[in-house]
A and B are shown apart, each in its own frame.
Chain A
């Protein structure tokens, strides 16, 4: 009985984009965050703050619940000269939910806000693909990053002088998986019944820390600073097989970077009533990237600085329109070595629409929708023979079986749509709250 997708199918599906998300899932932000191209470090008025800046949570003015969904289509290809392209695309869909609550009780306790954001992919809770071959083409900024469950807890505290600080933790799993397989022929005449498997599986919880500061000296001006620790998933353990004198003592050690360490600074400004502009600069430490086999790549990834800008305008309540643009340089270096990672500089263009039913007294909810595009440049890679292994040293010459040899090109696009419903749980919205 797999009812999960059906049970949650009340929510529309939206595409998945790269970059951060309310819950920390790559491609699982709320529609408002997506429509603003992720420029939300200095914004407060929705559950995006749970992950983008826990400090902004401290300035959240009312508790709320948000539920959303998204679906996206990644079209990515990699091709060697004269060959048909290898398709690296995928369809990714998911659901996200968030809860922001203000603590009840005396004034000092009411300064504390708590937030929880969860993202659940539509098809599976988690997918890790670690092929035996090191040179299999892959798109590291999409791939399994888009298909994992993510959860973030945050707490923000409202301080004097228009300041708020916050801390959070994004849960990341680590799988300890020792396996022993043996064979006892004396148990049965059926060989299948003689295979004995002893294994443990322990999915441990690790946390990636978040911290943030939000400073709002004026109603129309706010600054935000947020730091997010890298979120990685690891699966490891011995994998031993014995059948008579045959022994295979192997080990798995898989490592997936779901989000690099990031430091983001943002500003939000309302030049006129009902129009807010925001901009973020975000440094991402991709240089710490390790391959799925927990190895340093032939050529290290490099750190990048992403630029994000967004605008939100309420021409006439209840309608709000949003637009955003981001430039995300690719952290993937020239692919001249063993690996074949496909990625290129990326422009993100987003549009969004919001309807605030509460402002008209129709219903206490806000519905937001977004469309987002990723447009990747074209990647060119030429292999350096000196870095490629000879698969048959006994044969004369150098035998190369690398899947990117002698060169390849890659590019792609991504389209995503999504819908988010936000339900306030109490209090009154401040009109035009950012």
Chain B
């Protein structure tokens, strides 16, 4: 039913109406009865008797009427909304290409934001499913001299456990791999060896059994183990496993519990065992130097990070005074990092950069869609004006324009979720081994809420300007003529120009970022790793207690070396604890006999690795002076070492190091100098490295084998496995991979980020190009008449073309200047991601400016050419 006008709804009005209706009834009855001869009182009583309970009836009516009113109002509003939506959809349907282009760009922008937010949330907001994760702090030892951070020692952790005023609950863990039989195969499984209240700190509830308490670390307690859900499944997934004995590296352990599938701390841990501390560790002051424990504590409520930091500083100070022999000058200090940040590691700056990039892309998209919508709206200014003249409210007109934008945003959002799902599969592939949190990436409720917010934000951003403009259409202007040359037209031009400037500026920021990252990656790829990773396979092998410390281990590796070399196609074989990109090297201080400190030498600290076999040849590390190890060195266990060029440069300067005695853990005579190698990352700064003779004090259980051959990696791996099995079927081979793959993996995250950022920059460039083109075409089309008149009055065609081009160039210049200024402000955020290039590299900025400037000029040239082809007569007649 159409209502011309309606009084506003109010409960009081409804009540008044009901009251009036009922009063009229009763009053009429009373008068009737009085007229029939009753007294006034009698008549009133009789009327009420006939009526029944007035107040009950009144209340009932009021309730009915209010409800009916509300239902009707809602129905009408929905009907209007639905009608307007249909209008808007029909409007878009009339230009399907435009709608499709807008929806696609929005889908990319929104999808990218959703995917990156999902990663952001998983990695930086909630990396572990545990309440109050933001109150967990990691405490580490910082070694200022070598600018490296390690963990803390067991004794330090125990001291920290006492500090209930800082951490009411705390735990420490160190890596603890174990060999066990999984499905009949000896398998190396990564695990954690814990101290303190591990289960309490991480609030982890076993799905089966229990988690052991802190007392399990006391000497003499039975050996127990808690399994990860995954390992439990691999072992058969039988719930009777709790209470069974499991042999870990030759030693029986009782399984006491199984953890839920989503718990993984330390990342990739498959089993947790109490770290048993014997008197040897507890009573030796020097065990304070074994800083291999990751300490995590739950901060006491109200304890601030600043306070924690100063307390830790004071504690370290006391240690330095008490244990003078262990904390010599340059000894480590305790530092603290939030657990979330610790877990995020390198991913944090990458995710922040990606988030910023996708945000910029979305802004550019919105600016672009806003101008397209505006240009389109100007196309039917007349239609809107007619509707306004016929009485459609400004609000109604604005609503239609807003609804059109809302539909676009909605369609963009829905397709954006699809784009995001694709994006997530890429992100998951990013680097799950190093960032296991990534494998849990998903589009859950909070991510979708973020998408909804993004859609709303984008819709408002690109919908509000055209809507405001549309609602301000001047009826008389629009009806008299089109809006050309009117004030509304001028305002629209201003908005479009501003939008082009903004798009240029934002695109520049993205583009400079992309250029810098590409440059960094290029420089990184040109870094000499110091070895030749091609055609090399590495794998880890850990001997068990059956090969005791010393000669038996050397003998084992000697026979393994022989067997590996016997594989046809294998060129050279070597072993080391701590090989580049395949394992971690230890680090300790060294002393040189009779070599004075060099100018600029801050401290003598070097990475340490023990090698066996033809290690330097297998890896392709050049011996630049002296010689490498020989079989005779291994056979006699002679105390000889090879140092790298970095150490020589740092401690010897120009002097010859050969023959010098060095004490670096084991003592030895320097017999050779090797070319420096990168150990874990191509971007790492050079750090001294000392190669020790494995037969002289190394004897480590875990070694990495390096096999150089002409065979494909898979063939080498299969042959190597067979060789190990022949030698001892109980020994596991783990982490067998080609070394080139490992090196590539080390910059995988960086190249992924570079790729994504470049793709976004290219996308923005295209969007911005279209924006400029659309604007200049529009400007030219509105000025056709003016151009026609000028031409008729004798203006040269080149002058007209120059006019249009200069217009475009001016906008580009303003945009680029703002963009450069914005980049100068934001660029330092990129610094951590860059390698070999600063954020303010003039070449990169210049390249980006030139590219965008050229593209803007080309985009304005096409409309300019059209402008000069204007036939004066046609245009003037057209009006």
Do A and B assemble together? no
A contact residues vs B (CB 8 Å cutoff):
none
